[in-house]
Protein backbone atom coordinates (compact mmCIF):
# COMPACT_ATOMS: atom_id res chain seq x y z
CA UNK A 1 0.00 0.00 0.00
CA UNK A 2 2.89 2.29 0.79
CA UNK A 3 4.43 1.58 -2.63
CA UNK A 4 1.17 2.48 -4.33
CA UNK A 5 1.02 5.71 -2.33
CA UNK A 6 4.58 6.55 -3.30
CA UNK A 7 3.86 6.09 -7.02
CA UNK A 8 1.11 8.71 -6.76
CA UNK A 9 3.56 11.31 -5.46
CA UNK A 10 5.48 13.85 -7.52
CA UNK A 11 8.61 13.17 -5.45
CA UNK A 12 8.40 9.61 -4.02
CA UNK A 13 11.47 10.15 -1.83
CA UNK A 14 9.70 13.04 -0.06
CA UNK A 15 6.86 11.01 1.38
CA UNK A 16 5.71 13.59 3.92
CA UNK A 17 6.07 16.78 1.84
CA UNK A 18 5.52 15.78 -1.79
CA UNK A 19 2.39 16.78 -3.74
CA UNK A 20 0.28 14.13 -5.41
CA UNK A 21 0.34 13.78 -9.19
CA UNK A 22 -2.58 15.26 -11.14
CA UNK A 23 -5.45 12.77 -11.29
CA UNK A 24 -6.58 13.57 -14.83
CA UNK A 25 -6.90 10.41 -16.99
CA UNK A 26 -4.38 10.22 -19.82
CA UNK A 27 -7.03 10.21 -22.58
CA UNK A 28 -8.72 13.26 -21.08
CA UNK A 29 -5.36 14.94 -20.67
CA UNK A 30 -4.41 14.30 -24.32
CA UNK A 31 -7.72 15.67 -25.61
CA UNK A 32 -7.73 18.70 -23.33
CA UNK A 33 -4.08 19.56 -23.95
CA UNK A 34 -4.53 19.19 -27.73
CA UNK A 35 -7.36 21.73 -27.70
CA UNK A 36 -5.48 24.13 -25.43
CA UNK A 37 -2.26 23.85 -27.43
CA UNK A 38 -4.23 24.54 -30.62
CA UNK A 39 -5.67 27.70 -29.04
CA UNK A 40 -2.15 28.66 -27.95
CA UNK A 41 -0.85 28.12 -31.49
CA UNK A 42 -3.66 30.19 -33.04
CA UNK A 43 -2.96 32.97 -30.56
CA UNK A 44 0.73 33.00 -31.48
CA UNK A 45 0.11 32.91 -35.25
CA UNK A 46 -2.57 35.64 -35.34
CA UNK A 47 -0.61 38.02 -33.17
CA UNK A 48 2.61 37.28 -35.03
CA UNK A 49 0.86 38.29 -38.26
CA UNK A 50 -0.10 41.60 -36.65
CA UNK A 51 3.46 42.18 -35.45
CA UNK A 52 4.95 41.44 -38.88
CA UNK A 53 2.32 43.50 -40.73
CA UNK A 54 2.64 46.67 -38.67
CA UNK A 55 6.42 46.41 -38.33
CA UNK A 56 7.16 45.73 -41.99
CA UNK A 57 4.78 47.87 -44.05
CA UNK A 58 5.62 51.55 -43.86
CA UNK A 59 2.07 52.66 -44.66
CA UNK A 60 0.85 50.98 -41.46
CA UNK A 61 3.09 53.06 -39.20
CA UNK A 62 0.20 55.07 -37.74
CA UNK A 63 -0.58 55.88 -34.07
CA UNK A 64 -3.49 53.44 -33.99
CA UNK A 65 -1.45 50.62 -35.51
CA UNK A 66 1.43 51.21 -33.09
CA UNK A 67 -1.06 50.50 -30.31
CA UNK A 68 -2.19 47.39 -32.19
CA UNK A 69 1.45 46.34 -32.44
CA UNK A 70 1.96 46.73 -28.69
CA UNK A 71 -1.21 44.75 -27.99
CA UNK A 72 -0.09 42.10 -30.48
CA UNK A 73 3.27 41.75 -28.70
CA UNK A 74 1.66 41.23 -25.29
CA UNK A 75 -0.92 38.79 -26.65
CA UNK A 76 1.78 36.96 -28.62
CA UNK A 77 3.65 36.21 -25.40
CA UNK A 78 0.41 35.10 -23.74
CA UNK A 79 0.11 32.39 -26.38
CA UNK A 80 3.83 31.60 -26.49
CA UNK A 81 4.60 31.53 -22.75
CA UNK A 82 1.60 31.79 -20.44
CA UNK A 83 -0.74 29.30 -22.10
CA UNK A 84 1.90 26.50 -22.30
CA UNK A 85 2.88 27.35 -18.71
CA UNK A 86 -0.71 26.86 -17.55
CA UNK A 87 -1.01 23.61 -19.52
CA UNK A 88 2.14 22.23 -17.91
CA UNK A 89 1.09 23.34 -14.43
CA UNK A 90 -2.34 21.76 -14.82
CA UNK A 91 -1.17 18.46 -16.31
CA UNK A 92 2.12 17.65 -14.58
CA UNK A 93 3.89 18.08 -11.30
CA UNK A 94 6.02 21.20 -11.07
CA UNK A 95 9.66 20.08 -11.43
CA UNK A 96 11.14 23.43 -12.52
CA UNK A 97 11.71 24.87 -9.05
CA UNK A 98 10.59 27.97 -7.18
CA UNK A 99 12.64 30.37 -9.30
CA UNK A 100 10.91 29.41 -12.56
CA UNK A 101 7.51 29.47 -10.84
CA UNK A 102 8.24 32.99 -9.62
CA UNK A 103 9.53 34.05 -13.04
CA UNK A 104 6.54 32.79 -15.04
CA UNK A 105 3.81 33.12 -12.45
CA UNK A 106 4.56 36.58 -11.15
CA UNK A 107 7.05 38.51 -13.27
CA UNK A 108 6.32 37.47 -16.86
CA UNK A 109 2.66 36.72 -16.23
CA UNK A 110 1.91 40.01 -14.50
CA UNK A 111 3.85 42.09 -17.04
CA UNK A 112 2.15 40.54 -20.07
CA UNK A 113 -1.38 40.57 -18.65
CA UNK A 114 -1.18 44.13 -17.32
CA UNK A 115 0.30 45.37 -20.60
CA UNK A 116 -2.41 43.61 -22.62
CA UNK A 117 -5.22 45.10 -20.53
CA UNK A 118 -3.94 48.67 -20.66
CA UNK A 119 -3.10 48.45 -24.35
CA UNK A 120 -6.81 47.82 -24.87
CA UNK A 121 -7.56 50.96 -22.88
CA UNK A 122 -5.10 52.99 -24.97
CA UNK A 123 -6.73 51.77 -28.18
CA UNK A 124 -10.13 52.78 -26.83
CA UNK A 125 -8.83 56.25 -25.99
CA UNK A 126 -7.33 56.56 -29.46
CA UNK A 127 -10.61 55.63 -31.15
CA UNK A 128 -12.55 57.94 -28.82
CA UNK A 129 -10.44 60.96 -29.77
CA UNK A 130 -10.54 60.05 -33.48
CA UNK A 131 -14.34 59.82 -33.50
CA UNK A 132 -15.39 62.52 -31.05
CA UNK A 133 -12.68 65.07 -31.86
CA UNK A 134 -11.63 64.29 -35.45
CA UNK A 135 -10.30 67.80 -36.16
CA UNK A 136 -7.99 67.70 -33.13
CA UNK A 137 -6.86 64.09 -33.59
CA UNK A 138 -3.68 64.82 -35.63
CA UNK A 139 -2.39 67.24 -32.98
CA UNK A 140 -3.48 65.33 -29.88
CA UNK A 141 -2.53 61.81 -31.01
CA UNK A 142 0.88 61.92 -32.66
CA UNK A 143 3.17 58.99 -33.41
CA UNK A 144 5.71 60.18 -30.82
CA UNK A 145 3.11 60.55 -28.07
CA UNK A 146 1.72 57.12 -28.77
CA UNK A 147 5.18 55.56 -28.51
CA UNK A 148 5.73 57.29 -25.16
CA UNK A 149 2.34 55.99 -23.94
CA UNK A 150 3.24 52.45 -25.01
CA UNK A 151 6.58 52.64 -23.16
CA UNK A 152 4.79 53.99 -20.07
CA UNK A 153 2.26 51.17 -20.28
CA UNK A 154 4.98 48.49 -20.27
CA UNK A 155 6.90 50.29 -17.51
CA UNK A 156 3.80 50.36 -15.28
CA UNK A 157 3.15 46.70 -16.04
CA UNK A 158 6.72 45.85 -14.97
CA UNK A 159 6.28 47.85 -11.77
CA UNK A 160 3.07 45.95 -10.98
CA UNK A 161 4.85 42.63 -11.40
CA UNK A 162 7.41 43.64 -8.77
CA UNK A 163 4.60 44.66 -6.46
CA UNK A 164 2.83 41.30 -6.82
CA UNK A 165 6.05 39.31 -6.35
CA UNK A 166 7.52 41.20 -3.38
CA UNK A 167 6.41 38.63 -0.78
CA UNK A 168 7.75 35.74 -2.87
CA UNK A 169 11.06 37.54 -3.29
CA UNK A 170 11.37 37.92 0.46
CA UNK A 171 10.41 34.29 1.18
CA UNK A 172 10.58 32.06 -1.94
CA UNK A 173 8.11 29.20 -1.96
CA UNK A 174 6.02 30.65 0.88
CA UNK A 175 2.78 29.88 -0.99
CA UNK A 176 3.46 26.18 -1.51
CA UNK A 177 1.62 23.63 0.56
CA UNK A 178 3.78 20.77 -0.76
CA UNK A 179 6.79 20.08 -2.97
CA UNK A 180 5.96 19.89 -6.68
CA UNK A 181 3.47 22.74 -6.69
CA UNK A 182 3.53 26.16 -8.36
CA UNK A 183 0.99 28.24 -6.49
CA UNK A 184 0.07 31.93 -6.68
CA UNK A 185 -0.73 33.72 -3.47
CA UNK A 186 -1.17 37.44 -3.00
CA UNK A 187 -2.37 39.36 0.01
CA UNK A 188 -5.93 40.56 0.36
CA UNK A 189 -4.84 44.16 -0.16
CA UNK A 190 -2.96 43.30 -3.36
CA UNK A 191 -5.97 41.30 -4.53
CA UNK A 192 -8.19 44.36 -4.12
CA UNK A 193 -5.59 46.52 -5.88
CA UNK A 194 -5.43 44.07 -8.78
CA UNK A 195 -9.23 43.95 -9.02
CA UNK A 196 -9.47 47.74 -9.18
CA UNK A 197 -6.39 48.50 -11.29
CA UNK A 198 -6.64 45.67 -13.82
CA UNK A 199 -10.40 45.17 -14.06
CA UNK A 200 -12.75 47.80 -12.61
CA UNK A 201 -10.78 50.83 -13.82
CA UNK A 202 -10.08 49.52 -17.36
CA UNK A 203 -13.62 48.21 -17.84
CA UNK A 204 -15.14 51.46 -16.58
CA UNK A 205 -12.92 53.49 -18.89
CA UNK A 206 -13.73 51.35 -21.92
CA UNK A 207 -17.48 51.38 -21.25
CA UNK A 208 -17.56 55.16 -20.71
CA UNK A 209 -15.64 55.76 -23.93
CA UNK A 210 -17.88 53.33 -25.82
CA UNK A 211 -21.03 55.07 -24.59
CA UNK A 212 -19.59 58.43 -25.63
CA UNK A 213 -18.76 57.10 -29.11
CA UNK A 214 -22.24 55.60 -29.38
CA UNK A 215 -23.86 58.92 -28.43
CA UNK A 216 -21.82 60.74 -31.08
CA UNK A 217 -22.77 58.17 -33.72
CA UNK A 218 -26.46 58.49 -32.85
CA UNK A 219 -26.32 62.29 -32.92
CA UNK A 220 -24.70 62.22 -36.36
CA UNK A 221 -27.39 59.85 -37.62
CA UNK A 222 -30.11 62.15 -36.30
CA UNK A 223 -28.44 65.18 -37.88
CA UNK A 224 -28.47 63.44 -41.25
CA UNK A 225 -32.19 62.74 -40.94
CA UNK A 226 -32.98 66.32 -39.95
CA UNK A 227 -34.74 68.36 -42.66
CA UNK A 228 -33.11 71.52 -41.35
CA UNK A 229 -29.61 70.21 -42.14
CA UNK A 230 -28.24 71.45 -45.42
CA UNK A 231 -27.34 69.05 -48.22
CA UNK A 232 -23.62 69.75 -48.03
CA UNK A 233 -23.54 68.85 -44.36
CA UNK A 234 -25.42 65.63 -45.04
CA UNK A 235 -22.93 64.71 -47.73
CA UNK A 236 -19.97 65.46 -45.50
CA UNK A 237 -21.29 63.48 -42.56
CA UNK A 238 -22.38 60.37 -44.46
CA UNK A 239 -18.87 58.93 -44.41
CA UNK A 240 -18.40 60.04 -40.81
CA UNK A 241 -21.56 58.23 -39.78
CA UNK A 242 -20.40 54.97 -41.31
CA UNK A 243 -16.97 55.16 -39.66
CA UNK A 244 -18.48 56.07 -36.30
CA UNK A 245 -21.00 53.25 -36.41
CA UNK A 246 -18.22 50.83 -37.35
CA UNK A 247 -16.06 52.07 -34.49
CA UNK A 248 -19.01 51.84 -32.09
CA UNK A 249 -19.68 48.28 -33.21
CA UNK A 250 -16.02 47.31 -32.81
CA UNK A 251 -15.82 48.82 -29.33
CA UNK A 252 -19.09 47.08 -28.46
CA UNK A 253 -17.61 43.70 -29.40
CA UNK A 254 -14.53 44.64 -27.36
CA UNK A 255 -16.56 45.32 -24.22
CA UNK A 256 -18.59 42.10 -24.51
CA UNK A 257 -15.56 39.85 -25.16
CA UNK A 258 -13.49 41.59 -22.49
CA UNK A 259 -16.20 41.05 -19.86
CA UNK A 260 -16.83 37.44 -20.92
CA UNK A 261 -13.15 36.55 -20.57
CA UNK A 262 -12.24 38.58 -17.48
CA UNK A 263 -15.36 38.57 -15.27
CA UNK A 264 -15.21 34.84 -14.29
CA UNK A 265 -11.52 35.14 -13.35
CA UNK A 266 -11.97 38.19 -11.15
CA UNK A 267 -15.19 36.88 -9.61
CA UNK A 268 -13.26 33.75 -8.66
CA UNK A 269 -10.37 35.83 -7.32
CA UNK A 270 -12.80 37.63 -5.01
CA UNK A 271 -14.00 34.31 -3.60
CA UNK A 272 -10.48 32.85 -3.40
CA UNK A 273 -7.60 35.35 -3.61
CA UNK A 274 -5.10 32.47 -3.42
CA UNK A 275 -5.37 31.10 -6.96
CA UNK A 276 -4.45 27.48 -6.44
CA UNK A 277 -3.72 24.80 -9.00
CA UNK A 278 -7.25 23.40 -9.10
CA UNK A 279 -9.15 22.64 -12.27
CA UNK A 280 -11.40 25.63 -11.56
CA UNK A 281 -8.51 28.07 -11.41
CA UNK A 282 -6.92 26.62 -14.55
CA UNK A 283 -10.23 26.98 -16.42
CA UNK A 284 -10.55 30.63 -15.37
CA UNK A 285 -6.92 31.31 -16.29
CA UNK A 286 -7.46 29.92 -19.79
CA UNK A 287 -10.68 31.84 -20.22
CA UNK A 288 -8.69 34.88 -19.10
CA UNK A 289 -5.96 34.12 -21.66
CA UNK A 290 -8.51 33.43 -24.41
CA UNK A 291 -8.98 37.19 -24.72
CA UNK A 292 -5.49 37.36 -26.23
CA UNK A 293 -6.62 35.00 -29.00
CA UNK A 294 -9.75 37.05 -29.70
CA UNK A 295 -8.05 40.46 -29.62
CA UNK A 296 -6.44 40.16 -33.06
CA UNK A 297 -9.80 39.07 -34.47
CA UNK A 298 -11.54 42.11 -32.98
CA UNK A 299 -8.86 44.67 -33.73
CA UNK A 300 -7.34 43.42 -36.95
CA UNK A 301 -9.55 41.04 -38.92
CA UNK A 302 -12.23 43.75 -39.02
CA UNK A 303 -9.89 45.89 -41.12
CA UNK A 304 -9.23 45.24 -44.84
CA UNK A 305 -5.59 46.28 -44.59
CA UNK A 306 -4.86 43.32 -42.33
CA UNK A 307 -6.29 40.82 -44.79
CA UNK A 308 -4.20 42.38 -47.57
CA UNK A 309 -1.09 42.25 -45.39
CA UNK A 310 -1.68 38.58 -44.54
CA UNK A 311 -2.01 37.75 -48.22
CA UNK A 312 1.33 39.44 -48.96
CA UNK A 313 2.98 37.62 -46.04
CA UNK A 314 1.56 34.16 -46.78
CA UNK A 315 2.42 34.34 -50.49
CA UNK A 316 5.98 35.40 -49.56
CA UNK A 317 5.67 38.65 -51.53
CA UNK A 318 7.01 40.25 -48.38
CA UNK A 319 10.47 38.98 -49.38
CA UNK A 320 10.49 40.98 -52.60
CA UNK A 321 12.42 44.28 -52.78
CA UNK A 322 10.24 47.29 -52.07
CA UNK A 323 7.53 45.31 -50.32
CA UNK A 324 7.69 47.75 -47.40
CA UNK A 325 6.13 50.41 -49.63
CA UNK A 326 3.11 48.28 -50.59
CA UNK A 327 -0.24 50.10 -50.59
CA UNK A 328 -2.56 48.39 -48.15
CA UNK A 329 -4.93 51.19 -47.17
Q: How far is CA 178 from CA 3, 46, 175, in A?
A: 19, 38, 9
pLDDT of residue 55: 93
- Arithmetic mean of pLDDT, 295-315: 82
pTM of structure: 0.85
Q: Report whether pLDDT(214) > 70.
A: yes
Listed residue (48, 31, 44) closest to 87, CA to CA: 31
Amino acid 75: pLDDT: 92
Q: Per residue in 90-112, pLDDT tens?
A: 788 888 888 888 888 778 888 99
Q: What is the pLDDT of residues 11-48, one digit of tens each?
A: 777 767 778 877 767 777 788 888 889 999 999 999 99
Q: Say what the pLDDT of residue 229 is.
A: 47
Q: What is the mean pLDDT of residues 174-197?
A: 79
Distance separating alpha carbons of residues 14 and 195, to the nearest angstrom: 37
Residue pair 187/207 in contact (Cβ under 8 Å)? The answer is: no
* φ, ψ at 18 (rounded to 5°): -80, 145
Is there a contact between 12 and 31 (Cβ–Cβ < 8 Å)? no
pLDDT band at 236; cut points 50, 70, 90: very low
**Domains by residue range for the chain, with CATH:** 27-325 (1.20.1070.10)
- CA-to-CA distance for 116 and 232, rounded, in angstroms? 42
Residue with the larger pLDDT of the pair 171 and 262? 262
- Phi-psi category of 173—alpha, beta or left, where left has phi over 0 and alpha has psi -120 to 50? left
Q: What is the pLDDT of residue 281?
A: 66
Amino acid sequence: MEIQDRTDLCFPHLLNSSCRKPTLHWSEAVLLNSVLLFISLITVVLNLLIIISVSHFRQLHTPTNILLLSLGVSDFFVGLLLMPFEIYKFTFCWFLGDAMCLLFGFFIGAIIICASIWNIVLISVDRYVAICYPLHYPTRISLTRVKYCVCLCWFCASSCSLLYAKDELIQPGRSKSCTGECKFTISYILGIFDLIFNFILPVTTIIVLYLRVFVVAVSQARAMRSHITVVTFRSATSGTKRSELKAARTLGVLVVVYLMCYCPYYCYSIVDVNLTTTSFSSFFFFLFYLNSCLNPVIYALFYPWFRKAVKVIVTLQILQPGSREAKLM
